[in-house]
A and B are shown apart, each in its own frame.
Chain A
């Protein structure tokens, strides 16, 4: 059972209040009309699925109903933190750089 801090409610709540909403920050093809089937397939279906730290989205479905970004370890189940999507993206991009 995870305990997540919701950056919108500013409270720690149990996992059951949240719904998992997939990998975060998947870049949408910049030129949709010019993108090939392979690029679209990659965007729609291919996933990082890492064994390690994973940036993901959780919806606070039984709470504020807003989406947050969580950095979670898929092997140890440790949670590095949770942020609003915008705050998380800034940290995510810094990590990627």
Chain B
């Protein structure tokens, strides 16, 4: 079913019809008995995978199964930051691939994802922070990723509200700056990919929980769901925090731990912050949404949890970090607080690739940094499923690296604020 294009003209037309003539953005079909490919999980990554499979690899008979509602997991529970200034080549190239896709995404899927390249600052507060920042910026430049080292005075000039005083507890000594980084509208990404995939014939089936994976002779055959058995030769699991549960169904152990990651948004303020600020040392990050809310996040709770909530002392720690950087926000009231469940791998890098079971693929372990990778992750995972071979950009992210020892040591090395 082809969708009518969204455009200025269609907006004007609908304006004369009381906005009542819009089509449903995506179909809600009954599941068929069999598909060529099943994607488990209709978050941003799963929907992007289905979209690119249909668009670039000509696979049209695809189902995306979702146990809750579309985009209701971590896609709706992040702080929407997009950047690609990672240290190691493997990670930097993967995230840069994604950033390039972000840059054309609204046009490509005909849905305004409100991608705003307002720049991302990673602050340095110690001499060692600054050495790491210089090293990372140099590594980025070699990988043709835009990056700059800024002095404290330059940071203060670009972010007038920031506390750049040398009497701060952790004075700001400088920052790395990625001008092409920014934020995007998280729900729009899921909705946009869903609409684009649906119009290419992908069936998106919500309220359909996967309860079992059937393997015969080392090959995936079908998926047991709350809405019956569905056959497919190829199954891609994109279930974030629940990847371990899916792995367990076929006896596959995963190197993942599911942790709560809390974030919160404030009441709406007039525009005060036109960029994204992150700090590892005081451990917090924030930006201001187009609605005027401050969007604030920090680190994970240390323990395992599937409860989508964390401990209050982590919130206190986050608030303390933000007030350290922006003392004037101390009287801002918070509107909402939430916890997402992030699947953290030992090297804080994703696992994208094949498994010992033929036709079964996993894309998981994105930890705290998955949102920025949404289009790139879907793009390379679609390639992996279509060709039964990893894309060159995700070859290094195979599950086998935890046996061979070829970890991608991004944890704490890339200005990653978690």
> Residues of A at under 8 Å CB distance from B?
1-2, 15-16, 19-20, 37-38, 40-42, 44-51, 54, 56, 72, 74-77
For window 327-357 of B, CB contacts with A under 8 Å fall at 346
A70 to chain B: closest residue by CB: B303
- Across the two chains, which residue of chain A brings its CB closest to B312? A1
Nearest 9 CB-CB pairs, A to B? A41-B403, A45-B255, A20-B302, A46-B253, A49-B244, A45-B402, A20-B303, A51-B306, A41-B402
B345: nearest chain-A partner, CB-CB? A45
Q: B291-332 CB contact bits vs A (8 Å, 1 = yes)?
A: 000000000001111110101110000000000000000000
**B403 smallest CB distance to A (angstroms):** 4
Of B254, B403, B405, the most chain A CB neighbours within 10 A belong to: B403
Give the interface residue-count category, chain B.
20 to 34
In the complex, what's the smallest C-beta–C-beta distance from B402 to chain A, in angstroms? 4
Q: Which of A1, A2, A44, A49 contacts B304 (CB 8 A)?
A: A49
Does chain A have a CB within 8 A of B404? yes
* CB of B405 to closest CB in A, whole Å: 8
CB nearest neighbor in B for A16: B313
CB atoms of A56 and B303 under 8 A apart = yes
Taking the closest CB of chain B, its distance from the CB of A79, in whole angstroms, is 11
Nearest CB of chain A from residue B283's CB, rounded to whole Å: 16
A–B complex contacts, Cβ < 8 Å, 23 sampled: A1-B311, A16-B313, A37-B404, A38-B403, A40-B403, A41-B402, A41-B403, A41-B404, A44-B402, A45-B346, A46-B254, A47-B244, A47-B255, A47-B256, A49-B256, A49-B258, A74-B258, A74-B305, A74-B306, A74-B307, A75-B307, A77-B307, A77-B309
**B163 at interface by CB-CB < 8 Å:** no
Which residues of B sit under 8 angstroms from A46, Cβ to Cβ? 253-255, 402
Residue in chain A with minimal CB distance to B346 = A45
- B156 contacts the other chain (CB 8 A): no
Cβ 8 A contact of A74, one of B254, B304, B402: B304
Please judge, given known A-B contacts A38-B403, A41-B403, A45-B346, whether A76 and B254 are in contact too, CB under 8 Å: no
Which listed residue, A2, A37, A49, touches B254 by the CB 8 Å rule? A49
**Cβ contacts B238-268/A at 8 Å (1 or 0 each):** 0000101100000001111110000000000
Question: For chain B, what secondary structure do more than half of its interface residues adopt (helix, strand, loop), or is it mixed?
Answer: loop
The chain B residue with its CB closest to the CB of A49 is B244
**Minimal beta-carbon separation of B313 from chain A (angstroms):** 5
Q: Which of A19, A42, A75 contacts B253 (CB 8 A)?
A: A42
Q: What is the interface of chain B, defined by CB distance below 8 A to chain A?
A: 242, 244-245, 253-258, 302-307, 309, 311-313, 346, 402-405
CA gap between A64 and B223 in the complex, in Å:
49
Bound Cα distance from A19 to B404, whole angstroms: 30
Q: Contact: B313 with A1, CB < 8 Å?
A: yes
Determine which of A2, A45, A51 lies in contact with B242 in the assembled complex, contact meaning CB atoms within 8 Å.
A51
With a cutoff of 8 Å between Cβ atoms, the chain B residues found around residue A49 in the complex are: 244, 254, 256-258, 304
Which chain B residue shows the least CB distance to A54? B304
Q: How far is the CA of A50 from the CA of B248 in the complex (A)?
A: 10
Instruction: For residue B117, give the distance in angstroms from its CB to the closest CB of chain A.
Output: 36
Bound-complex Cα distance A16 to B317 (A): 12
Q: 7 extra interchain contacts, Cβ-Cβ under 8 A, other than A1-B313, A46-B402, A77-B307? A: A1-B311, A20-B303, A47-B253, A49-B257, A51-B245, A54-B304, A74-B307
Q: Which residue of B lies closest to A40 (CB)?
A: B403
User: Which residues of the partner chain B approach A38 to less than 8 Å between Cβ atoms?
Assistant: 403
- Give A34 to B183 CA distance when docked, in angstroms: 50
CA distance A56 to B258 in the complex (A): 14
Contacts of B313 on A, CB cut-off 8 Å? Answer: 1, 15-16
- Complex-state Cα separation, A62 to B254, whole angstroms: 32
The interface residues of chain A lying within 8 Å CB-to-CB of B254 are 46-47, 49
For the complex, give the distance between the alpha carbons of A50 and B242 in Å. Answer: 9
Nearest CB in chain A to that of B311: its residue: A1
* Closest Cβ–Cβ distance, residue B316 to chain A (whole Å): 10
* CA distance in complex: A42, B313 (Å): 33
Assembly CA distance A56 to B257 (angstroms): 12
A49 to B254, CA, bound (A): 9
Residues of B within 8 A of A77 (CB): 305, 307, 309
Give chain A nearest CB distance to B237 CB in angstroms: 14
